[in-house]
Homo-oligomer: A and B are copies of this chain.
């Protein structure tokens, strides 16, 4: 495995390789990321993992500065799981004059769900992913379902801008107690970590209720929200949506995703659960 830090050096390597599967990350890797790499390996001759903490997707007051930079440990994990290239550019490599001038502007979905409290976040994600796609020239790119809204937005971007790249969605990796793996779990205190599985448990309860025929989605969302708030969370949103478009789900929809974002202590966690309903 090779660690490459400049675009020029990467392009030199890229010319020698036919098919590439790509996993963009911000580093601080856990089993969730490694499952992306394992999936990527099934899809191409070589796997490129980028590690880049992308300033333009963080809002003011967010955790850009404190976001963990752990390149050495990350590289060891990636070597073990069989990545071919770690592309870890310095900030000035992607933003040579310190800022981005041209942006990929996603549709209104960027201001919904997580976008409501993180203005500009998905624009920053779409833009850096486009830049990385243009550098890496992948045939396949793997994204985790953990960031479900991101996955939907990037899948739409690839289609709408005619990028010749196949997006492979990868299932969420969870701890044994159900908590979705996330770099931000590291911000939790031991007590918060014990409580954190409540978020996924709430989604599971909702899914069961829907499977049992509850069709008043708004009532389900409200019940789940108030229960979590009672348990000490500050719920940002819990929403029942169409899985493909993230439009509000209707009673007749079959492919559903329940998405949630909630703050525990000072840490904002997100999770989601796909539900396939069998209507009579």
Contacts and interface: CB of A to CB of B under 8 A. Distances in A.
Nearest to A163: B134
A94 B162 contact: yes
A275 to B, nearest CB: 26
Contact of A134 (B104, B126, B161): B161
A164 interface: yes
Contacts of A101: 106-107, 156, 160
Contacts of A177: none
Contact of A131 (B7, B135, B161): B161
A188 interface: no
A11 B103 CA distance: 26
Contact of A104 (B11, B102, B135, B164): B102
Contacts of A162: 7, 94, 131-132, 134-135
A117 B32 CA distance: 50
Question: Interface extent on A, as a size class?
Answer: 20 to 34
A19 interface: no
A130 B11 CA distance: 20
A162 B101 CA distance: 12
Interface string A91-131: 00010000011111111000000000000000000110011
B94 A156 contact: no
A158 B104 CA distance: 13
Contacts of A26: none
A73 to B, nearest CB: 28
A157 interface: yes
A137 interface: yes
Contacts of A105: 102-105
Interface string A127-157: 1001110110100000000000000000011
A135 to B, nearest CB: 5
Interface string A225-245: 000000000000000000000
Given A102-B107, A127-B161, A137-B164, 6 more contacts: A102-B156, A102-B157, A102-B160, A105-B105, A130-B161, A132-B162
